[in-house]
Amino acid sequence: MPELPEVETVRCQLDAALPGREIVSVESVDPFILRDADAQDLPGLIEGRAFGSVTRAGKFLVLPLQGDVYLTIHLGMTGQLLIAPRGAEISHVRFSGLLHGGEDRLVFRDIRKFGRLHVTLGAPAARLSGLGPDAWIGDWDADFLRSRLNGRTAPLKAFLLDQRHLAGIGNIYADEILYGARLSPLRPAGTLTRPETERLAREIRERLGEGVRLRGCSISDFVDTEGAPGSFQDALRAYGRHGLPCASCGSPLVRTVVGGRGAAFCRYCQR
DNA sequence: CCCAAGTCCTGGTTGC
DNA sequence: TGCAACCAGGACTTGG
């Protein structure tokens, strides 16, 4: 699942490859994943415009084009952004644009169609304004976290998944963060003590940073723009490990459902 | 047949 | 009582 570290891995590669280059022609677009623009208008809107510097907000990628046009992409659950040779055979293509020079193309591939491509004239404020600060590099601290947690009865894991508080955490990193912070996913968010809040803040930055360093988690479909997997899946300590022993106490991790999502955790180490 | 995922949407509940 | 804030759960998609 593309979460913040996976999206950052892709952003980094796109920012090295795209600025200054233009989309010569839109080869295909699946109207299902397109938002804010019509498929027949798309070529006229983006063809011939060069990319600017690629940025990220939580799990959203923002690809600016000349003329105040923006491509804002969410990879959803199985989305991939590839820079692929023109001749490569690729399935489940939702958007394909030939890049200047004609040797390669920018491809948005998405098996399950949870991904979205927003095309807007002007910055994509409507899509991004509800997001909290970036969970990895955003300007926030334990006091901010405390103010957001305060008074909430929702389970801690649901809080971490809510992009309005912090942007970028998904199911995998939520499990890893809670394991590292020794906090139960079921813990009512508002009951954290100050030391627990500080532990949580530290784990959020560290686990996401580790994910970025390892170029993301390829436990399911994630690959970078060259089709290469990351390696965070080898560093998992909680996600998907229910039934396997806790690295700290040895008892089997358990699985439960929190906020409609599966959660694996150690019921002894995580309180 | 059912599960997994992230976001959006709806409808119900809580608390001031 | 009224209202906003909050929270749970379903829809969407499709391969395993």
b/e burial code for range A217-239 (CB count within 10 A of at least 16 → b): bbbebbbbbeeeebebbeebbbb
Residue A11 phi, psi dihedral angles, 5° rounding: -60, -45
Average pLDDT (A160-188) is: 91
Look at residues A101, A104, A99, A35 and name the one whose alpha carbon lies nearest to residue A73. A35
Closest nucleotide to the alpha carbon of A59, via C1': B6
* Residue at token pair 């590839």: A82
Average pLDDT (A171-191) is: 91
Protein-proximal positions, strand B, CB < 7 A = 3-8
Separation in Å: B2 C1' and A166 CA: 32
The CATH number of the structural domain formed by A4-130 is 3.20.190.10
- Whether A65 shows a pLDDT value over 90: the answer reads yes
- Whether A56 shows a pLDDT value over 90: the answer reads yes
**pLDDT score recorded for residue A127:** 79
Pick the range with the lowest mean pLDDT from A45-59, A193-207, A217-231: A217-231
- Nearest protein residue to nucleotide C12 (CA to C1' distance) is A114
Residues at the strand B interface (Cβ < 7 Å): A 1, 3, 58-59, 74, 76-77, 112, 114, 127, 130, 161, 163, 170-172, 257, 260-262
Q: Are A209 and A180 in contact (CB under 8 A)?
A: no
**pLDDT score recorded for residue A152:** 86
DSSP letter for A90, please: -
**pLDDT score recorded for residue A101:** 86
- Whether A29 shows a pLDDT value over 90: the answer reads yes
Closest nucleotide to the alpha carbon of A262, via C1': B4
- Nearest protein residue to nucleotide C7 (CA to C1' distance) is A154
Catalytic (active-site) positions of A: 2-3, 59, 261
- Nearest protein residue to nucleotide C9 (CA to C1' distance) is A260
Closest nucleotide to the alpha carbon of A74, via C1': B6
Q: What is the per-residue pLDDT across A94-150, written as a single tens digit (0 to 9) for each?
A: 999 999 987 999 999 998 888 999 999 998 887 788 888 999 999 999 999 998 898
- The domain spans of chain A are 4-130, 142-265
**pLDDT score recorded for residue A216:** 87
Q: What's the farthest any 2 CA atoms get from each other in chain A?
A: 60
Separation in Å: B11 C1' and A172 CA: 29
Q: In what order do the strands lie in the sheet with A93-99?
A: A23-29, A93-99, A104-110, A79-85
**pLDDT score recorded for residue A231:** 84
Fold for A142-265, please state it: Helicase, Ruva Protein; domain 3 (1.10.8)
**pLDDT score recorded for residue A219:** 80
| CA–CA dist A267, A198 (Å, integer) | 21
Model-level pTM? 0.94
